[in-house]
Copies of this chain bind each other. A is one copy, B any other.
Amino acid sequence: MVNYPVPDLDGVFRALADPTRRAIIGALARGPKTVSEISRPFDISLPAVSKHLKVLERARLVTRQVRGREHHCRLNPQPLAPAHDWLSFYSGFWQERLDALDALLSEEDQDSDEA
């Protein structure tokens, strides 16, 4: 059983649904970075990066420490756990189901008709 308080799977999955955001997570996994350091590899504006960071913060995936004029961002991977668990629950299916149930269904769905 999963049994999380289900913090906000929506926010986490939505945060992960953008390649820039996943790349930011990937960068921060190598260690904390300032906003400028984060934005360097991307050819989008700084405000755009700032917005992505806000999405990640809202999903609690990134925390920020203001040190002087620089904002040091750090990955907080905990909210990924419920998402991972949600997927793990269905990971039983994509092997189990595919030889057992799928075989069963393909013999009962003979009158199929793909659009």
Contacts and interface: CB of A to CB of B under 8 A. Distances in A.
Nearest to A91: B84
Interface string A63-79: 01111000010110110
Binding site of A, secondary structure by majority: helix, strand, loop or mixed?
Answer: helix
Interface size bucket, A side?
A: 35 or more
Interface stretch (A12-20, A35-43, A45-53): A12-20
Interface string A20-41: 0010010001011000000000
Interface of A: 9-10, 13-14, 16-19, 22, 25, 29, 31-32, 64-67, 72, 74-75, 77-78, 80-81, 83-84, 86-88, 90-91, 93-94, 97-98, 101, 105, 109, 111-115
